[in-house]
Structure 1
Amino acid sequence: MQNMRFLAVNLDSFLIELNDPEHTVALFRHLETIKHPHIVEMIPAATTILVYFDRLNTEVSALIRYIKSQRIERQQRHSVAKVVIDVTYDGPDLHHVAELLGVTVSEVIYRHSNTCWNVAFIGFAPGFGYLNSPDHPFGSIPRLSSPRKKIQAGSVALAGEYTGIYPKDSPGGWQLIGSTPQQMWDIHRDPPALLRAGAQVIFRDITRQPSHVVVPEIKIPRQPEQHLQPVFELLQTGLQSLVQDQGRTHQAALGVGRSGAMDQTALSQANRIVGNPDHAAVIEILNGGLKLKVLQSTVVAVTGAASHIGVSYAGQAQVKVPDYSPIALDCGDLLYIDSPHAGLRHYLAIRGGIKTEKILGSASFDTLAELGTPPLKPHDFIYSAELSVGSVLLHEKCAQQLPKIGDVVEVDVILGPRTDWFEPESLTQFFQQQWLVTQESNRIGLRLSAGLPLKRQIHGELASEGTCTGALQIPPNGQPVLFMNDHPLTGGYPVLGAIAIDHLDRVAQIPPGCLIQFRQKSEILDLDKEST
């Protein structure tokens, strides 16, 4: 296939840019079919495909040469899934859309329901499909000037050249033209997402027909077996305590990101100390404040942020215990984890792991998708997963120097894929000035601030494209947003660069009030030349 451009993203990923959605869908389907052994995952978008690859077993140049060598016909026919979606055309923006187009409401409904739509990609939220058509029945519909704070699940909407259905209640700025009783996302369905990239969709007008609401089967979470005894009762959970593990993989086709522990090294070390397998779930504690009561003898380890960790043994005075070491606890003991004096997130591992339900292969709670084990709260009980365990390690060292509020933290950046969207002076300024980590930072992203915002030299609108963990997306205000584990899979603002993979754990431990000094890890790579 001709007219492909390859853009750097990170050490394990790159972006393929094509001319139009039709070429993009054709290449994505082809790469899905051939299943190259070293392509780990792909995220298709409007005119791009984000490719993650196994960097231990292939070179990026070899993989690009392989993709360039493929011959794909744009009009190649595929057997694709076809989905019919019932719509009641009664949306609050329906008349406004008709006015924008200079047509009647009936014409809007006719165009929408008599077009064969293609699911170009999944993004924004799990199960949210971006549907387009080569017929372009509406041209480009502008988004609302002020997004709504809440749009009901099942709302059918238009924006740009796309139509889509909101899978859950969420904020949004698309023009609402109708609603459907069908569920776009149901975690108890296999697969949970009704729409997948590459599928075709027909909307069926049921406006004048009696409608019904599909009530999903409510599954009550299975209660622990009666013979199981809890290991802990949580007395205090601090600002945020979440069950996390290594995260979800190979779920991008559903619009689901990896999530998982922010500091993966601290997660692994905590499990290793108590003899757990790497995949065991732990508790990730934001900014300390955890207090728990021990209900049966166990061994735990605390890693990550540095703070006072205390144990009150059988009602006696509190004793300080070390982090990065096994801590033996008996029934009646109390464990305290105070606010950190360095770093931001602790990881508490329990020998045998934490018993919890896995969603799409992981116990991790994704704060953006609201998927996984719900956030822990006071008086929750923690049960052992009774995993096979190995030897306890007497001590491990913290893998990094933990930052304190006010510190300047140096972080490596891989430039791309949209570095050329910014003025050269802004690129120089990006590396010269220090960026404050603001209080508006969480597992979705860190909002950064500096005196001189970054300026673009390309001012057009960027079509949504895949983004990696660590991506530095630059919104119109010129102040970067650093995407973290729970970020959306696609974004509509240009990405100047991404945090090098080996510095993501460092970023996970940066508290608000620190400054980041970015260091250029690579030159602006021309991957097309690299592959020749």
Structure 2
Amino acid sequence: MLPFGDRAVLAECDTLEDVLALHARLAASRPDGVVDLVPAARTVLVHVDPGRLSLAAARAWIARLGTTPVARAADAPVVELPIVYDGPDIEDVALELGLSAADLAAQHATCEWTVAFTGFAPGFGYLVSDGWTHDVPRRASPRTRVPAGAVGIAAGFTGAYPRETPGGWQLIGTTSAPLFRPDASPPALLAPGTRVRFVPAPAGALGDRHAPPLPVTSETAPADDVAPGTAATPAPVLRIEAPGAFATVQDAGRVEHAAEGIAVSGAADRAALRRANRLVGNPEDAAVIEVALGGFRAVAQADLWVAITGAWGPMRLGGRQVDASAAHRWRRGDELELGAFDRGLRACIAVRGGLGGVADVGSRSTDTLSGLGPRPLRAGDVLTISDPRPTRPVPPEDLHPWNPPGGVIDVEVAPGPRADWFADPLALFETSWTVSPQADRVGIRLDGDPLVRSRDGELPSEGMLPGAIQVPPDGRPVILGPDGPVTGGYPVIGVVADASRDVLAQARPGTRIRFRHARLIG
């Protein structure tokens, strides 16, 4: 068992077969406090809520089950995926393997597959089979566009793309199966441990029924659509005049879905989200507008209450200067304007009643990596509220003063699972780091003296959490954000302590970061 910050343990196994067995044992006896179980190529990430289950108790639970025999559920239902073997790479791959395309297709369809783990995109399962003996390399140059429903093979795995995305797998066919539907329960058709069989269909049998349409994104949304993520309504409460550098709808995010390939997302500065909602009498997890860098303008189309928290900068409401971290009356027809932020990166704008709209996988949050949730905001969007008659009062005053974030941020870091991959793991704490321009909700890349590896080679994909500090081959760390991938193959040298993630969310390009050792309990 390896450490993974202050909220997770990484259980390492010898083989993928051991991973599947351990994951089955853990899933069958999951105690209260386990947030997620994320199997990967050689590991199972056990993510816990320390308030309900301590890390020490989690390790004891894993150790106790690690030697418990488990029987494969051979009589479990099998998910059948219709497939036409019409992929653009099937002829070349078959030739490389010394087979005909028909023989390769027959072998693929004969195998019974099992979902070993998920990742890359929501609903994308990495399928393995004892009967599949081909280790097919990925394409030398990944495609920039792989269509939804494409079935590929690579490195001993097969998988089907739930949505259009770039990809480097060798494409051998197409399926019409609904691999991922945000409104379904569960949303992913293929979860770890699911048994799968591909059922050949004649060419043309699938017609135009490919994988479900993509969630609305800034690239796919029509120009005249209504508020992103909201149902059409005759009573909008505010209209976006200018979204600024980047603005999205965010709430507390999507929890307990990492095993389905779904990132947490949600507000990057969770403390700012909670504070803004409290100020206007909302539940702490209500949806807000998250604005990066400022430059935001919106006009109220109803009488509202509003509060802005997080980053600091000039803020005007109805032409008057207003303070952050306080509730304000927002009259119909008045414009709210956030100028360029002086300090910090992200502000949360909470409106009394919370922002409304359609929830994908239980959340209204925009996931910028996978495309789940509403697309980023743009001029002309109209938004509704979730609860037009809230019962909680607007507090009479804010009892706590809030200071703007500083230009140097101290970030606490707990141990990561792969510190032994580096010649001097302490260099992470001794180096002066600066946030690079490559920083967004997916991850923050740091500039500084590169960390030197003591081990070469590739690391099989492992479960990831927001705050994980991955180190690519160039030695410059990347801190995963709320929209970061749920699995990854770069070694994690450390993990940002949960308490430091909110202050890290305010780190803008040029901000200096000092890492400090976190004090862990349990």
What TM-score results when the alignment is normalised by the length of structure 1?
Answer: 0.89
* 1:195 corresponding residue in structure 2: 190
Alpha-carbon distance in 1 for matches of 2:355, 2:427: 46
Alpha-carbon distance in 1 for matches of 2:426, 2:181: 47
* Contact 1:23-1:74 within 8 A present in 2 as well: no
Alpha-carbon distance in 2 for matches of 1:182, 1:34: 31
Report the secondary structure of 1:510's partner residue. coil
Alpha-carbon distance in 2 for matches of 1:271, 1:210: 51
1:254 aligns with 2:260: yes
* Contact 1:301-1:348 within 8 A present in 2 as well: yes
Alpha-carbon distance in 1 for matches of 2:247, 2:93: 44
2:285 to 257, 276, 279: 279
Offset, 1:487: 0.7
Offset, 1:225: 4.8
Q: Deviations over 1:276-329 (max 9, x none)?
A: 1112111111111111112222211111000000123xxxxx321111111112
**Structure 1 gap segments, 5+ residues each:** 1-5, 313-317
Report the secondary structure of 2:397's partner residue. coil
* 1:242 corresponding residue in structure 2: 248
Alpha-carbon distance in 1 for matches of 2:56, 2:339: 48
Q: Deviations over 1:403-425 (max 9, x none)?
A: 3xxx332211112111111223x
1:347 aligns with 2:363: no
Alpha-carbon distance in 1 for matches of 2:52, 2:81: 43
Alpha-carbon distance in 1 for matches of 2:84, 2:54: 51
* 1:22 corresponding residue in structure 2: 17
Alpha-carbon distance in 2 for matches of 1:60, 1:217: 39
1:124 aligns with 2:117: no
Alpha-carbon distance in 1 for matches of 2:143, 2:210: 25
* 2:375 corresponding residue in structure 1: 374
Aligned partner of 2:405: which letter? L
**Structure 2 gap segments, 5+ residues each:** 216-224
Offset, 1:401: 4.7
1:212 aligns with 2:210: no
1:268 aligns with 2:274: yes
4+ long deviations beyond 6 Å: 216-222
With 257-266 and 76-85 compared, the bigger mean Cα shift is at 76-85
* 2:436 corresponding residue in structure 1: 438
Q: Deviations over 1:144-181 (max 9, x none)?
A: 22221111111111121211111111111112122222
* Contact 2:310-2:346 within 8 A present in 1 as well: yes
With 334-343 and 84-93 compared, the bigger mean Cα shift is at 84-93
1:173 aligns with 2:176: no
Aligned partner of 1:158: which letter? I
Is the alpha carbon distance of 1:232 and 1:52 closer, same or farther for their aligned partners in structure 2, counting shifts above 3 Å? Answer: same
Alpha-carbon distance in 1 for matches of 2:255, 2:77: 23
1:390 to 380, 390, 393: 393
Alpha-carbon distance in 2 for matches of 1:323, 1:134: 59
Report the secondary structure of 1:77's partner residue. coil
**How many residues get paired?**
506
Report the secondary structure of 2:337's partner residue. strand
Offset, 1:209: 6.6
1:514 aligns with 2:511: yes
Aligned partner of 1:95: which letter? E
* 1:324 corresponding residue in structure 2: 325
* 1:315 corresponding residue in structure 2: none
Offset, 1:215: 5.8
2:80 to 66, 84, 98: 84
1:148 aligns with 2:143: yes
* 1:3 corresponding residue in structure 2: none
Is the alpha carbon distance of 1:293 and 1:435 closer, same or farther for their aligned partners in structure 2, counting shifts above 3 Å? Answer: same
Q: Deviations over 1:202-233 (max 9, x none)?
A: 1223355744231678899874554xx33222
2:90 to 70, 84, 94: 94
1:289 to 287, 295, 301: 295
Alpha-carbon distance in 2 for matches of 1:222, 1:470: 30
Offset, 1:522: 6.2
Is the alpha carbon distance of 1:467 and 1:399 closer, same or farther for their aligned partners in structure 2, counting shifts above 3 Å? Answer: farther
Is the alpha carbon distance of 1:225 and 1:281 closer, same or farther for their aligned partners in structure 2, counting shifts above 3 Å? Answer: same
Alpha-carbon distance in 2 for matches of 1:185, 1:362: 16
* 2:218 corresponding residue in structure 1: none
With 367-376 and 390-399 compared, the bigger mean Cα shift is at 390-399
Offset, 1:106: 3.2
Offset, 1:117: 0.9
* Contact 1:183-1:214 within 8 A present in 2 as well: no
CA-atom RMSD, angstroms? Answer: 2.3
Alpha-carbon distance in 1 for matches of 2:75, 2:286: 40
* Contact 1:26-1:72 within 8 A present in 2 as well: no
With 376-385 and 17-26 compared, the bigger mean Cα shift is at 376-385
Offset, 1:518: 1.8
Q: Deviations over 1:215-262 (max 9, x none)?
A: 678899874554xx3322221111211111111112223221211000
Is the alpha carbon distance of 1:268 and 1:222 closer, same or farther for their aligned partners in structure 2, counting shifts above 3 Å? Answer: closer
